Structure 1
Amino acid sequence: MSKIQVNKLHTLTGHNDCIYALAEGSDPRFFYTGAGDGMVVEWDLDLPKDGKLIAKLPHSVYALAIDSERNFLIIGHNFEGIHVIDLNENKEIWNLKITDQAIFDIKVFGGEILIGTGDGVLIVVDSVQRSVKKHIKLSSKSIRVMAIAAEKRQLALGLSDHSIKILDLANNFQPLTNLNGHTNSVFALNYSPDEKVLVSAGRDAHMKFWDSENYTLLENIVAHMYAINFLSFKDDGKYLVTCSMDKSIKVWDAKNYKLMKVIDKARNAGHGTSINKVLWSSYSGHVISISDDRTISIWQIEEENL
């Protein structure tokens, strides 16, 4: 039997509005946050109190992605497009005005930047040519979240039309299947590190585990009281964390679908409002969370064998 011990290590401040975006750097010692104030900040897990301003944009930032191969940070600038920052040079090297919609998620796959927008369009950008390759209209509702299974060469997208769509990255984004298990918007989506399982969650407060071989449903859990905003796996795949509008973070045994720990304000001096993203750091093993309360928390989560 294992027990999970939680210790809050740091509360980081500096943003002037709700924090929506969170991404781990190509050097995972660093992570990046974006907020309603248009600020994008770099944080160092070895020196967490010293945030460094990377960009200041006129509109809110909901999405960030790292191009690890080139060490670029891609910023989703709502109602505008993307800004690409060279993190070696600490400067913007190009940008592209591509949408008048919100940008909810960005993923990088090879030389392509994949952008999910508020009007249900997947925009594919060639990062070498710095131009739009294609628009793929998937729904009249927002694309809220994306996940890539790199080995399988598959892209999963969670939408506000309650569906999850699986596209084939090896075959020009051809549709593979459509998953219709949720009863509201899908906000959270992630493949397990071994890519055998896809986990989804969203506004219906349910978390679903899907076998990624044939996308059959393995388990359905009523996981939170309110909308689940995001989820993140520990890099060994044993545990995952979810965060919610109910102001809590939950630690789950990913193999046995079991709740291991609840982290909240009453028990752990957690966030006071909706928690928008969580990231299980592959550098420190700590969990990073961001919230509408304008703060970032860093949590030590340790397994205690009984």
Structure 2
Amino acid sequence: MLKHLHTLSGHQNPIYALASAEDPTRFYSAGNDKGVVEWSLTDMAFVKIIVPVQSSVYALHRYNNLLFIAQRSGLILVFDLKQQKTLATLSHHQKGVFDLKTIAHKDELISTGEDGIVAIWSLKDFSLLYHFPVIPNTVRVIAVSTDEQQIAIGAKDGIIRIYRTEDYSLVNELQEHTLPITALQYAPNGDYLISGSRDAQLKVWSLPEYTLINSIPAHMFSIYAIVFHPSLPYFATCSQDKSIKLWSSTDFKLYKILSIEKGTEGHFHSINKMIWSQDGRQLISTGDDRQVMVWDVTA
């Protein structure tokens, strides 16, 4: 179901972030280099560095023609992809920013990171609207429910906290993981939330009650990303154990393992991030080995 198509080289340091472009044949990557890179899926080639950065990039998030660039310094750059210029620099976090998401119906950007604070920003004028502490240390990941009514926040203490987006009030705490939460994703059909952790477990929480319905010993080490295919009933996970796994999104059956240790093409270091191409024809993965790998979806 996934076959290695191409490996893109050029980054000189570990890569932490990927984002799709408005053009479905392009995407962006960034990490411990000094710039955000644009790539072509048509030519399987480097296109250009779209914007220089002053510190490592931990997260990229595209919303329409805006690319938000979260850095180790705590700054978030707002880059206009059409005008090809930086519109704003968002400054509130005192430490690295690890994740960014948007709440489209509220015109809001959410950021969080190493300082344990969640910040809410206006997408209209990029002003800071609200902020609140989650824990005294790292918050790693944010997931937005399909209807945008709730967000899930995954923290270093192993707890997943659920907040209403209406007023950002806390409505639930999920405490089944034994180590920090490193990946979260709501299912596209809105039926469940799936979480991954440094404990190498995937846990499935049915909605709306967030009842734990499945625990899967999915990987050997930390799970760093969970990505649902845009149209087909499966999702992929990647891990510090250097493997990518493809799962059914209906019965959680394991379909495929991509790993050098299993005799396939694969990364030779921790895999930090994955995205699907917008048309769902490719899976893109990257990590500490400085490689961007493109995988073709086959029947």
TM bin, normalised by shorter chain, reads: over 0.9
SS at structure 1 position matched to 2:11: coil
Q: C-alpha separation between the residues in 1 aligned to 2:279 and 2:293? A: 16
Identity across the alignment (%): 35
Match of residue 213 from structure 1: 208
* Aligned-pair CA distance for 1:284: 4.2
- Report if the CA contact (8 A) 2:222-2:241 is conserved: yes
Match of residue 35 from structure 1: 31
Residues 128-156 of structure 1 show CA distances to partners (whole Å, capped at 9, x for unaligned) of 22211111111112110111114151111
SS at structure 2 position matched to 1:268: coil
Determine whether 1:176 maps to 2:171.
yes
* Aligned-pair CA distance for 1:81: 1.2
* Aligned-pair CA distance for 1:268: 2.0
Match of residue 63 from structure 1: 59
From 81, 88, 97, the counterpart of 1:87: 81
Amino acid at match of 1:84: V
- Report if the CA contact (8 A) 2:229-2:280 is conserved: no
- Report if the CA contact (8 A) 1:62-1:78 is conserved: yes
* Aligned-pair CA distance for 1:237: 5.1
* Aligned-pair CA distance for 1:40: 0.9
Residues 193-250 of structure 1 show CA distances to partners (whole Å, capped at 9, x for unaligned) of 1121111001000001111211001100000011111110111351110001110000
- Report if the CA contact (8 A) 1:193-1:237 is conserved: no
**Dislocated runs of 4+, deviation >6 Å:** none
From 263, 278, 282, the counterpart of 2:258: 263
Match of residue 204 from structure 1: 199
Amino acid at match of 2:46: D
Match of residue 70 from structure 2: 76
Q: C-alpha separation between the residues in 2 aligned to 1:152 and 1:79? A: 29
- Report if the CA contact (8 A) 1:192-1:237 is conserved: no
From 294, 299, 306, the counterpart of 2:295: 299
How does the TM-score come out when normalised to structure 2?
0.95
From 95, 98, 120, the counterpart of 2:92: 98
Amino acid at match of 2:48: K
Number of aligned residue pairs: 296
**Greater alpha carbon shift after TM alignment, 54-63 vs 280-289:** 280-289
Q: C-alpha separation between the residues in 2 aligned to 1:209 and 1:121? A: 25
Q: C-alpha separation between the residues in 2 aligned to 1:180 and 1:285? A: 36
Match of residue 146 from structure 1: 142
Match of residue 282 from structure 1: 278
SS at structure 2 position matched to 1:261: strand
Match of residue 47 from structure 1: 43
Q: Which ranges in structure 1 are unaligned for 5 or more consecutive residues?
A: none
- Report if the CA contact (8 A) 2:146-2:186 is conserved: no
From 167, 186, 189, the counterpart of 2:163: 167
From 241, 257, 262, the counterpart of 1:246: 241
Match of residue 25 from structure 1: 21
Q: Which ranges in structure 2 are unaligned for 5 or more consecutive residues?
A: none
